[in-house]
Amino acid sequence: MKEKILDYLKKEQEYLSGDEIAARLGISRQGLWKHIQDLKDLGYDIVAVPHLGYRFLSSPDRLFAIEIAHGLNTKFIARKIHYFDYLVSTMDLAMQLGMQSAPHGTVVLAESQTKGRGRLGRSWFSPKYKGIYLSLILRPKILPSASPILTLLSAVSICETIKKVVGLDAQIKWPNDIFICNKKVAGILTEMNAEVDKVNFVVIGIGLNVNNDKKSLIAQATSLKEQAGQPVSRIILLQELLRRMESNYFLLEDKGAQAIIDKWRNFSLTLGRRVKIYCQDKHIEGHAVDIDRDGALLVRKDSGLMQKIFSGDVMHLR
Amino acid sequence: MKEKILDYLKKEQEYLSGDEIAARLGISRQGLWKHIQDLKDLGYDIVAVPHLGYRFLSSPDRLFAIEIAHGLNTKFIARKIHYFDYLVSTMDLAMQLGMQSAPHGTVVLAESQTKGRGRLGRSWFSPKYKGIYLSLILRPKILPSASPILTLLSAVSICETIKKVVGLDAQIKWPNDIFICNKKVAGILTEMNAEVDKVNFVVIGIGLNVNNDKKSLIAQATSLKEQAGQPVSRIILLQELLRRMESNYFLLEDKGAQAIIDKWRNFSLTLGRRVKIYCQDKHIEGHAVDIDRDGALLVRKDSGLMQKIFSGDVMHLR
């Protein structure tokens, strides 16, 4: 009902009499008043003027499911949203929900994380209301070995979203980091629950620095606000990201991995550069030539030997 | 303390005075009496004779952690055992425990399962006290694509265990079923929680028909009791299985996948036969030649073309 009241008020942007709204929505004046109070408690700015009625002014800077779902128009992504003021980690909850049969496209959102997770057991700094911290549950019909394509797909979607909403050029550092002006703005963590020959579900975690102030960021990190010089609406950004994830997912289904990889190459910060890659206890140095359809990086070593690298930390050399 | 009392009584196999036991273990006569009552409630046959004391006669047919741990002598497997009279599924709980940092080698055991799971969403019939239903949490340092070797390792361990304890020749039908005299006696389900380039943990589920009566089994299934013509101790069987799993795991770590595959070939029911394999919507017919180090089945089709098969249901043809 709150969603309906909000939809109604947002659509008109004028004073609407309480009697009219209540009648339209089939609730009592008293019931309406209670819902409006609840919305105000959530941070919605709604003015009430005697004899004129209610008028919607603004939404709070919160990623409420009703805000994200409003006008989203996706087919399966974010049709179900789990929203929290804080979580230990959106990944942990999403993995749990996946095991409890949460549908394809389910999204877990948190305004902050007390132990946000990154790749290989690292942490993701998740200050409250500053970023987008989301986990997306997908149920693709793929082999476990094909799962890296979903990390590439997510990276492409993030870059496209930043370009569209903020107008900035973001680039992808293989395998899973998004950079603007050589500073990290987002990270992706892809986890799966699988049989040896069948993925049960995949959870894609995205951490994106949006309105973090420069002083709260380490030197190697940045935020969209810092890069754009002004705050960015997290709601508009998240909605665009969810739409892009969905359209790229359909692209993957229709045209296959190569279509995603072609897009990925255009955003790559790594290809064509001299790189040093730390994997396990050793490192490999060479020229990053391409990625293959498994998402592995192909590096030509100085000996001329081509090496396929599935995992590692990349250092870009001059 | 119950474990200590039991150890003590089992070791002697004679009447031991309550005063002596209590003194040795540093508890009161009353405390000892209470523990003995609890053990009797669990089904332990312990006689108490005035002036003579207590004497251990027998353990109940239960897979209690104290029974399994007694004399097990493993380094990491089953150092932690979670035992239940029944569970929905040992897999579900083990996947949960894995996410809660349960250590490498943790075992989940249930005397029955209400929804025991098999490969590709199938069920595993798990009647109470009749079989072994276990899930083992492992934390191998491997890529997700290497996980099938753990299914092969488990299959080898089951066959070795059956040979050692019951003296019967069991064989492996690729990828994950154990047969005796062309009837299924055990199944393996390997699931993992992984990043795209790193396995967080693997859970190996084993369902083994031990003391099921012939009339309770479908025509294509059998139990060790049916094949051996007499009941089999589930405790001795399970202990041997856990030891074999561990020694084969160490073999894998030391000598690599090839050492496991070499053992596997000797137990294979599939290799050298004409097979029809159903995978997804199609089927492939040909001669099963070998398995490769990824655990994939290599099939030579009539056209002479060799095909690598990661997943499917095998039908052995005459």
How is B69-133 classified by DSSP, letter by letter? HTT---SSTTSSEEEES-BS-HHHHHHHHHHTT--TT-EEEES-BSS-B-GGG-B----TTTEEE
First to last CA, chain A: 58
In this prediction the ipTM stands at 0.81
Kindly state whether A187 is in contact with chain B, defined as any CB-CB distance less than 8 angstroms: no
Per-residue tokens: A172: 């992808």
Q: What is the pLDDT of residue B305?
A: 94
* Nearest-neighbour CA in chain B from A40: distance (Å): 39
Residue in chain A closest to B151 (alpha carbons) equals A196
Question: What count of other Cβ atoms lies within 10 Å of the Cβ of residue B216?
Answer: 13
CB contact under 8 A, A195 and B190: yes
CB contact under 8 A, B194 and A197: no
Give A90's contacts in chain B (Cβ within 8 Å): none
* Nearest-neighbour CA in chain B from A135: distance (Å): 14
DSSP conformational letter for B196 = T
DSSP conformational letter for B175 = T
What residues does B54 pair with on adjacent strands? B16, B48
pTM above 0.90, yes or no: no
Give the CA count within 13 Å in the CB-facing half-sphere of B300: 7
Taking the CA atoms of chain B, what radius of gyration do you get in angstroms?
22
Same fold, A2-58 and A65-267: no
CATH level 3 topology of A274-317: SH3 type barrels. (2.30.30)
What residues does A183 pair with on adjacent strands? A180
CB contact under 8 A, A192 and B197: no
Give B194's contacts in chain A (Cβ within 8 Å): 144, 191-192, 194
CB contact under 8 A, A200 and B189: no
pLDDT digit of tens for each residue in chain B (318 aa)?
888 888 888 887 788 888 888 888 899 989 999 999 999 999 999 998 988 889 999 889 999 999 999 889 999 999 999 999 999 999 999 999 999 999 999 999 999 999 999 887 788 899 999 999 999 999 999 989 889 999 999 999 999 999 999 999 999 999 899 999 999 999 999 999 999 889 999 999 999 999 999 898 888 999 999 999 999 999 999 999 999 999 999 999 999 999 999 999 999 999 999 999 987 778 899 999 999 988 889 999 999 999 998 888 899 886
Give A147's contacts in chain B (Cβ within 8 Å): 144, 196
How do A306-309 and B313-317 pair as beta strands?
unpaired
CB contact under 8 A, B148 and A196: yes
How far apart CA A271 and CA A262 sit, in angstroms, is 12
CB contact under 8 A, B144 and A194: yes
Per-residue tokens: B274: 């004409």
Kindly state whether A209 is in contact with chain B, defined as any CB-CB distance less than 8 angstroms: no
pLDDT digit of tens for each residue in chain A (318 aa)?
888 888 888 887 788 888 888 888 899 989 999 999 999 999 999 998 988 889 999 889 999 999 999 889 999 999 999 999 999 999 999 999 999 999 999 999 999 999 999 887 788 999 999 999 999 999 999 889 889 999 999 999 999 999 999 999 999 999 899 999 999 999 999 999 999 889 999 999 999 999 999 998 888 999 999 999 999 999 999 999 999 999 999 999 999 999 999 999 999 999 999 999 987 778 899 999 999 988 899 999 999 999 998 888 899 886
SS3 of residue B263 by DSSP: helix
- Amino acid, res. B169: D
CA separation (Å) from B63 to A10, A71, A161, A205, B187? Answer: 63, 56, 55, 40, 19
How far apart CA B306 and CA B37 sit, in angstroms, is 65
User: Domains of chain A: which residue ranges?
Assistant: 2-58, 65-267, 274-317
Q: What is the pLDDT of residue B229?
A: 95
DSSP conformational letter for B296 = P
The kind and range of the H/E element at B272 are none
CA separation (Å) from B267 to A102, A118, B158, B172, B307? Answer: 40, 42, 10, 6, 22
Specify burial of residue A79 (Cβ count, 10 A radius: 0-12, 13-18, 19+).
Answer: middle
Interface test with A, best of B145, B196, B202, B297 (most A CBs within 10 A): B196
Residue in chain A closest to B195 (alpha carbons) equals A191
* Nearest-neighbour CA in chain A from B193: distance (Å): 5
Residue in chain A closest to B100 (alpha carbons) equals A92
Give B295's contacts in chain A (Cβ within 8 Å): 196
Count interface pairs A-B at CB distance under 8 A.
78
Q: Which candidate from A119, A197, A311 shows the least CB-CB separation from B310?
A: A197
Q: Which candidate from A96, A143, A311 shows the least CB-CB separation from B197?
A: A311
Angle at A77 between CA A72 and CA A80, to 5 degrees: 90
Per-residue tokens: A120: 């290989």
SS3 of residue B238 by DSSP: helix
The class that CATH gives domain B2-58 is mainly alpha
Per the CB < 8 A criterion, the answer to whether B8 and B54 are in contact is no
Kindly state whether B147 is in contact with chain A, defined as any CB-CB distance less than 8 angstroms: yes
How do A274-279 and A282-291 pair as beta strands?
antiparallel
Edge-first strand order for the sheet with A297-300 is: A306-309, A297-300, A282-291, A274-279, A313-317
* Nearest-neighbour CA in chain B from A295: distance (Å): 10
Q: What is the pLDDT of residue B260?
A: 96
How far apart CA B125 and CA A199 sit, in angstroms, is 24
Give A192's contacts in chain B (Cβ within 8 Å): 144, 192-196
CATH superfamily to which A65-267 belongs: Bira Bifunctional Protein; Domain 2 (3.30.930.10)
How far apart CA A318 and CA A284 sit, in angstroms, is 16
How far apart CA B207 and CA B195 sit, in angstroms, is 27
Per the CB < 8 A criterion, the answer to whether A124 and A116 are in contact is yes
Chain center to CA of A116: 14
Which chain A residues in 99-128 lie under 8 Å from chain B, judged by CB atoms? Answer: 99, 119-120
* Nearest-neighbour CA in chain B from A145: distance (Å): 6
The sign of the CA dihedral B136, B141, B144, B145 is negative
The kind and range of the H/E element at B215 are none
Specify burial of residue A119 (Cβ count, 10 A radius: 0-12, 13-18, 19+).
Answer: buried
Per the CB < 8 A criterion, the answer to whether A86 and A112 are in contact is yes
